[in-house]
Every structure is written in structure tokens, then in C-alpha cells.
Structure 1
Amino acid sequence: MFRFRAGGQDRPRPAPGERRDPVDEVPRVWRLAVYGFQHVLAFYAGAVVMPLLVAEGVGLEGEDVGTLINASLIACGISTIVQAVGFPGVGIRLPIVQGSSTTAVPSLVSVGLAAGGAQAGLPTVFGAVVAAGLALFVIAPLFSKLVRFFPPVVTGTILAVVGITLLAVAARQVGGGNAGAEDFGSPAHLGLAAVSLAVIVLLYKLSRGFLATVAILVGLAVGTTVAAFAGRTDFSKISDASWVGMAAPLHYGAPRWDTMAVLSLMLVMIIISIESIGQFFAVGRIVDRKVDGQDVVKALRADGLATAAAGVLNSFPTTVYSQNIGLIRLTRVKSRWVVAASGVIMLLLGLMPKVGAAIAAMPASVLGGATLVLFSTIAVVGVQILHQADLADQRNTILVAASIGIGFLPTAYPQFAEQMPGRQLHVLFESGIILGTLSAVLLNLFFHHLRLPGRNEKVPKPVDDPGDCMQHEARVAETP
């Protein structure tokens, strides 16, 4: 009997008339298109928010913003196809949608500003993205051994720090984007943010179905429409953009190597990978497909390869999008080919510069109303994971408290970074996410893995199956 690979496991081909495994089932073309487009709608808002945040953070304007948005869609489409379709040794072959990771935003902005800001800083940014992606591809097999150093108390703390840090970015957007502007925080900006936020809240209140999955996108659309009627948007650049085209690979110049920037992005990739592992197990449970350590390795290799390709294509690291996992659970459509179709649609949208130009015209305050929800959700997920940790243990309480406090320092007072000697330390102390993550990992090693002389402390036994450590994240990720 011939056999084929699916999700890293050998499964027999179905006999004539026998129903194919739902994960490998190929729906009719019209269903592929409809279900695939539904995934794109659930994914789209988050995918375009990330390049907007980076562009704003490093000081890009106009056509460059649209270029990053289109590049992000192309990179996300490619990474989704690689993950869902799979190639020898790469890709988990499950219905997983990949999108640009907001976790990387603070580090990317810090690296870009340290390298000169705007277009001058992008070669360093993309150089770090390419290097970090290739590093993840190489070290992916080590993650089965590293997982035990990232228990719920560490991963939950990291996500909480990420959410809290990003809220500062959301607050700046709510005020209008430019804190130095005379009208920053004006009633007009706050009103537009309130419109997009109110629409999102109402849709989650009134809808439990498809509308709830696209609440962010609808909120952004309504907010932008209101801003247009109020004369607070500029759509003039949409007509200047072409219908079809894309920026050339390495559009902003050859990737530039910067050791501190690469280390910063590698740490971000480790954080993203730890987040993703829980999502892989969640999808496996939803589609009734066992995910093992080898599947995780293949999935992380796809993440690394896709991230390296994204850097070449003028884009940023990708990660699993949990909202699409919720959509799978809601619709019960488990086919990985539906997700692959959504990747093709993303790719086609990325080849339409007018799409990027239209999104770039969105007012920052409208975006702020949506990112308040998006970024706060990251912190909430961190709290959910922390519920799986033993916070009655005072060592864990101190770990969480110290790490959140340390991670908050650059958010409250960026001046700390300015006092650091050398650019490397300057970049390190600009990112609350990096500081909070380092604190959580090192304190976990100190409290739970370091044996002190003269004390009978038990060092945790290595875990053979990474799934055992990640079931808490799988449960969180399964929630629509």
C-alpha cells in the first residue's frame, strides 16, 4: 500500500470511495475561494497593523508605508503556503495561517532608529530579520530540549510584558501618532479612536459568528469612513499607486550586519517560537491530528525559512495567528488546502500596490482604537497562561513581579537607554520586551534550575515530550 506524509506522520491513502482525512481533504474550487477569503478577512487587520506600526516607529511616510504593507502580505502568503502545504523536512502540513508578528515591533523599531531611522535604518532591520530567520531554521531541532526552560510562569510573563509594552504604542496612536504635534490627544483624535473601538466592542457583543472574527477589520473600516467624512484622511496617493506590482527584493539596499541587532531579533524569534509551539498543539487537537516533537521542528523550520525570505522581500518575522485557529474551531473546516488557498489570496493582494496605499491612508487614531484591543489581548493571554503556573510559590511571584517591573522601565522612561554606554546597550535598554524576557528566563534558571551548595534543591527533570509543557498554551490558543 502506498503511503503519504501528513503532519509528519505516515497515513494510508484512502481507498476508492473512502472519505479522506478532513485535514487533507480538498474542497471544490468555489469553497476553497470562499473559505480561504474568510481566513484572509480574519487575518487581514493584524497583518497590516504590524508594518504600519514599524513604519510609524522608524519614521517612514507615504509610498514607503504602502511598500511595507504589500511586502507583509506577500511574505505572509508565502509562509502560510509553506506551513500548510509542506515540503520535505519543512512545514507542519496543518491548517495554520502565518502573519506578521507584533511581538517584534519594539525591537524592530529600536534597531531601525539606532541605525539611522526611516529608510537609512531598514537595511540593518532586514539584515537582522534574515539572520534571525536562518538561525531559527538551524536551531529548530534544539527546541525540544529548550522547552523545559519556558514553563507557564515564563511564557505567561513574557506575553504580559509584550502586551503592556505595546500599549504605549497604542496610546500614542490614539492621540494621533505624533506626540510632538499641537493637536496630539485632541478630542478629534480621541473621537476617531473611540469610533473604531466602539464598533469592535459592539460586534463582539452582538455577534458570535463570522462578524466577531472580522470585528477589528470592520472597526477600522468604519473609523476610516467617519474620518473621511470629517476631512481627516488623505486618499490622494491611492490614485498614484499602480494596480499590479511589487517592490524589488532588497528594495532598500543590501542587508547590513549588526551584531546587537541580530541578537535582539534572535531573542524575539525565540519568544515567537515559544508562543507558536502552543498554537501548533492547539491546532492538532482541534483537527484531531497528533502533533509530536518532529512536527514542531518542521513547523519552526518553516517559520525560520519564511522569516529569512521575508527579510529579503522587505518584510518582517511571521508567526501563527490565533484568530484563525478560532475560525477553524468555529467553522469546523479543517482542510489545510483551504488555508493554503488563503495564502494564495494574501499573495495576490500583496501584488496590488493600491491595496497598500489605501491602508496607509488610515488615520493613526483610528488604528489606535483597534490596537488598544489587539495589544491588550496579548497581555490577557499572558495572564491566562499564568493561571497554569503555581503563583502560590513566592519564587514564581517574585519572578513575575520583577520581570514585569523591569520590562516596564523603558516604556515609562526611555531616558534609561540614553544613559547606557555603547550603542549595543542602548538598543538593549530601549526594548522593554527584551529586558522583561531576559529577566523571566534568568530568574527561572536561578530559582528552579540552579542548585546552590549545601541545599537539597530538586532540579526539574528534563521533559521528553514538548507537548507536556505546552498543553496550557494549547488550551489558551483553542479559545476563539
Structure 2
Amino acid sequence: MENKVSGGKIFSLGLQHVLAMYAGAILVPLLVGRALNLTTEQLSYLVAIDLLTCGIATLLQAWKTKYLGIGLPVMLGSSFVAITPMIGIGNQYGLASVYGAIIAAGLFVAIFAGLFGKIIKLFPPVVTGTVVTVIGLSLVPTGIRNMAGGANNDDFGSLQNFLLSFGVLALILLINRFFTGFMRSLSVLIGIIAGTLAAAMLGKVNLSAVMEASWFHLPQFFAFGLPEFKIAPILTMIIVCMVIIVESTGVFLALGRVCDQKLTPQDMTRGYRTEGIAIMLGGLFNAFPYNTFAQNVGLVELSRVKTRNVIFMASGILMVLGLVPKIAALATIIPPAVLGGATVVLFGMVIASGIRMLTEVDFKDQRNLLVVACSISLGIGATVVPELFAGLPASLRIIVSDGTITGSLSAIVLNVFFNMTSRRKVEAAPVHSHGISETTVAREQIS
């Protein structure tokens, strides 16, 4: 149920939503672009088109129609789940295959949106908690390398990088300790801005990219070339999108409760279909797969403002920012050490979220212990020692050599093997007075 907000407050509340998700939105293109050795100009485009597509995807999801839109005050952004798979596909097959895989996976999600309610049953807390934990753990090495100055940089591991990265980390922690509400929600963004200013005083910031960037540009299809469609990258990205759908399901249901709106299977189907279309748009514009951002749910709950007009305003702000490359170029001047200090917090929070999901699992059952133990071990092993799979054909190697995908597949397969093939009915997780898992709610409402 939506509440009315005066026109004068809509802009400020919309801007607050943008600021709350901005750090997460720009980190994905920065991490992927730098890992794939994009030029500064290409990186600026990547950030700009990402912001624009975030705005379009948010508008489609919040605007409820007969076939599209969950109709809740949601914000969509580029998914952290896709970082390592995109880098892996890009390094092995090239950018054209990355975007071909994203387009195909988005089309898969859009077409089979109605079936995802049944597929969600394959993702109980023991699977989702394991998957999210593996995602966070597989991202940590990237954050730590950035803290040291970024791989292959001449000043890797220097004292300046150490002080910058830990200074940003300390500032974020201090803000979370001594502030609440809006200031706390912006702690990562404030840390990045403060760290970049400190780096500028040390001569580690180059503003040439901002000076050379234009004030306006129009988005274009296939900016990095025509997409290529290859089986292994497509299968990898489909698995990634399945994980994204599970994450978004939890956010949909949490926000539905905040807004006192019970979601129907039809609502969920529209939400899944819209996410599929958003992912396709990411591929067409050479951006990213998108999912619903959980951090913005906290803002809705904190402010108690549930009107979608605020989200429509936020989507408009994102689209305007995406049309101004000079603003997007500001993100590209952030030094790797500053970025690392911020991402180690975000990636650590992903791990913590996974652990929190796992607290709902009955670990007295030895089978659940085996699912978690084997999946996390294989996921981390594939991240740290991808050479393990060097002897496999390239089509299989791109799937299993990525820790996120290996851990996810292991969790799904082992859960089916141990729990879903048993004749004994698995007992439901206990419902606590303070809440239950989003995935548990998903199974109850959709099945």
C-alpha cells in the first residue's frame, strides 16, 4: 500500500535511493572493465551505460503492467554475482562472447519466467546460503589485490596503497559505528570520495579522463562489437542468472512484507520476466546482468515511504546520469587502493549474508553439512587453483573453473542427491518470531 509524499520531497527521496545504490552500481563496471584491460574511454562508457540501464531496468520493474513489473518500490543494479564469470568469459572468449551470453541468458529468463516458481524449490536455505557465501569468498581476492594497488601496477603493495585502502576501510567502519540512518547508508560512497580526495593530494589521481569526456552522449547497441553466441559462456551465464533470480526472489518477498502486499505467483512471474528483459538490455547495450538491490529495501523500511513515485524519480536520475559521460568518468579516476578498501567491506557483507542464511539450516543433519562443506571447498578451490581443470575441454573449463559457478552447481546437485531424492520428508526450517528466510517464504508462496 503506497503512501502519499509531497512533490518537493520526491526528488530528495529519489536521490537518496540513487546514492544508496550508487557505489554498488559503479563498482561492477570498474572491476570488470579493469580486469579486462579496457581503455579509460571504454571504462567511462561502461559506467555511463550501466547507470542508464539501471534506470531503465528500475522503471520497468517498478511500473506494473499486465505482463511486466513487480509493481513494488524496487531498485535494480548490476549484479556482483556476474563479476567473476564475466571476467572469465572475457579473458577466454572475448567481450563479444560475454555479451552474447548475457543476451541469451536474459532471453532464457524472460521466456521461462513462469517456471521459475517451481525451480525455486531447488534453492532451499542450504543452497542459497552456500551460494551467497561462495560468491562473497570468490570476490575477496579481487578486493585484496585492489587494496594493494591493483594487479600488475608498479606500486603494488606500497605503503601509500596500504594507508589509502585501510584509511577508506577505517572511515567506513567509523561511520557505521557513530552514525545512523542516511549517513550510515552512504558510508561506502563517503569512504570512496574521501579516499579519492586523499589520493589526489598524493598525486595518484589523473583527471584527464574527466576533462576529455563529453557532456552528453546517446547510448548505442553493441558498442564493443557484435555479440557472439557460444555454448559454454551461455550455459555459464544462465547459471549466473538463476542465482540472480534466487537473490531477487528474497528481495521481492521482503519488500512485499514491508509494503503490506502479498505477492501472487503472477506477480513473481512478471518480476522474473522483467529481470530477464533487464538482463537482455544489459547485453544489447554492452552493460551487465541486473538484479534487485537489497540495500534499497532497507531505505524503504527506514523511511516508511512506499510510493513508487520516489522510485520513478530515482530511475529518472539514473538515466540522466547515464547520458552524461563526464559524470561517469569521475568514477574511473578512483584509484584501485581506494576501491579495494571499499569493496572488502561489500564483499565481506556478501559473505556475512550467506552465513546468516546458513544459520537457518538444520546442521544436525549430516547431509546438510556435506552439501555446505563440499560446495564451499570446491568453489574456493576453483577460485584459488583454476589450473585444476586445465585438462578439460574449453567448453567445460569455462564453467567449472569459476568458483561461483562450481560452488553453485555443487550445492544444487548435492542438495538434490542428499535431500530431494530421499523418501523421508525433509522437515521445514523452524519459524522464529523475528522472521523467516526469504527462500522459505518463496517456496510457501509460489509452490
- TM-score past 0.5 threshold: yes
Give the match for residue 404 of structure 1: 376
* Contact 1:177/1:365, CA 8 A, preserved across alignment: yes
1:282, CA displacement in angstroms?
A: 0.2
SS in structure 2 of the partner of residue 31 of structure 1: helix
Shift of 1:30: 2.4
Separation in structure 1 between the aligned mates of residue 354 and residue 176 of structure 2, nearest angstrom: 21
1:262 to 229, 234, 258: 234
Could you tell me which residue of structure 2 aligns to residue 202 of structure 1?
A: 174
Provide structure 1 residue ranges, at least 5 long, that are not aligned to the other structure: 1-20, 116-120, 452-456, 463-469
In structure 1, the partner of 2:437 is 472
Q: 2:36 matched to which residue of 1?
A: 58
What residue in structure 2 maps to residue 443 of structure 1? 414
Which residue number corresponds to residue 135 of structure 1? 108
Aligned twin of 1:163: 136
Relative distance call for 1:416 and 1:59 in structure 2 (3 A) is farther
Which position in structure 2 is the counterpart of 1:383? 355
Displacement of 1:425 after TM fit?
2.2
> Per-residue CA shift, 1:188-207, capped at 9, x if unaligned?
11111112111111110111
Matches within 5 A, 1:169-318: 169-178=142-151, 180-318=152-290
Counterpart of 1:472, as a letter, is: S
Q: Does 1:96 align with 2:68?
A: no
Structure 1 stretches (4+) deviating beyond 4 angstroms?
459-462
Contact 1:158 1:382 in 2 (8 A): yes
Q: What is the CA–CA distance in structure 1 between the aligned matches of 2:185 and 2:153, rounded to whole Å?
A: 35
Instruction: Report the alpha carbon displacement of residue 411 of structure 1 after superposing the two structures with TM.
Output: 2.0
Q: Distance in 2 between matches of 1:218 and 1:203?
A: 9
Cα distance in 1 for residues equivalent to 2:119 and 2:426: 13
Letter in 2 for 1:159: V
- Residue 352 in structure 1 maps to residue 324 in structure 2: yes
Judged with a 3 Å threshold, the aligned counterparts in structure 2 of structure 1 residues 244 and 475 are, in CA distance, closer, same or farther, namely farther
Partner SS state of residue 291, structure 2: strand
Looking at structure 2, the residues matched to 211 and 275 of structure 1 have their Cα atoms a distance apart, in angstroms, of 26
Contact 1:47 1:73 in 2 (8 A): yes
Count of equivalent residues: 436
Percent identical among aligned pairs is 37
Give the equivalent residue in structure 2 for 1:150: 123
Q: Secondary structure at the match of 2:383?
A: helix
**What is the rounded CA distance, in whole Å, between the counterparts of 1:28 and 1:348 in structure 2?**
22
- Cα shift at 1:236: 1.1
Q: CA deviation digits over 1:3-28, x for unaligned, max 9?
A: xxxxxxxxxxxxxxxxxx426x4x33
Measured against aligned partners, the alpha-carbon deviations of 1:171-222 in whole angstroms (never above 9, x if no partner) come to 11111112x3342111111111112111111110111110001111000000
Amino acid at match of 2:142: V
Residue 344 of structure 2 is aligned with which of 372, 378, 396?
A: 372
1:246 and 1:353 in contact (8 A); partners too? no
Alignment TM-score, normalising by the size of structure 2: 0.94
Give, in whole Å, the separation in 2 of the partners of 1:188 and 1:426: 38
Q: Distance in 2 between matches of 1:204 and 1:217?
A: 12
Q: Is the 8 A contact 2:106 2:276 kept in 1?
A: yes
Of 47, 63, 70, which residue of structure 1 is paired with 2:48? Answer: 70
Q: Deviations over 1:42-88 (max 9, x none)?
A: 01000000011110121112111111101110111001001111232
Per-residue deviation, residues 145-169 of structure 1 (Å, max 9, x unmatched): 1122111000000000000000011
Contact 1:193 1:367 in 2 (8 A): yes
Q: Does structure 2 conserve the Cα–Cα contact (< 8 Å) formed by 1:71 and 1:350? A: yes
Cα distance between partner residues in 2 of 1:234 and 1:246: 25
Deviation at 1:254, TM superposition (A): 1.4
Q: Distance between the aligned counterparts of 1:127 and 1:82, measured in 2?
A: 22
- 1:202-259 alpha-carbon deviations (Å, 9 max, x no partner): 1101111100011110000000000000001111111110111134211111111011
Quick one: distance in 1 between partners of 2:379 and 2:113?
27
Q: Distance in 1 between matches of 2:117 and 2:219?
A: 38
Aligned to 1:458: 424
Tell whether the 8 Å contact from 2:125 to 2:439 is kept in structure 1 after alignment.
no
1:36 aligns with 2:14: yes
Residue type at the aligned position of 1:62: T
Cα distance, 1:313 vs. partner? 1.1
Whole-angstrom CA distance in 2 between matches of 1:363 and 1:191? 13
CA shift digits 1:276-301 (9 cap, x unpaired): 10110000111111112221111111
SS at match of 1:234: coil
CA-atom RMSD, angstroms?
1.8
**C-alpha distance in 1 between matches for 2:440 and 2:206:** 43
| Conserved? CA contact 1:92–1:296, under 8 Å | yes
CA gap 1:110/1:247 in 2 versus in 1, 3 angstroms: same
Letter in 2 for 1:64: Q
Contact 1:279 1:474 in 2 (8 A): no
Determine which of 24, 31, 37 is the counterpart of 1:46: 24
User: CA separation in 2, counterparts of 1:395 and 1:475?
Assistant: 19
Tell me the distance in 2 between the aligned counterparts of 1:193 and 1:181.
15
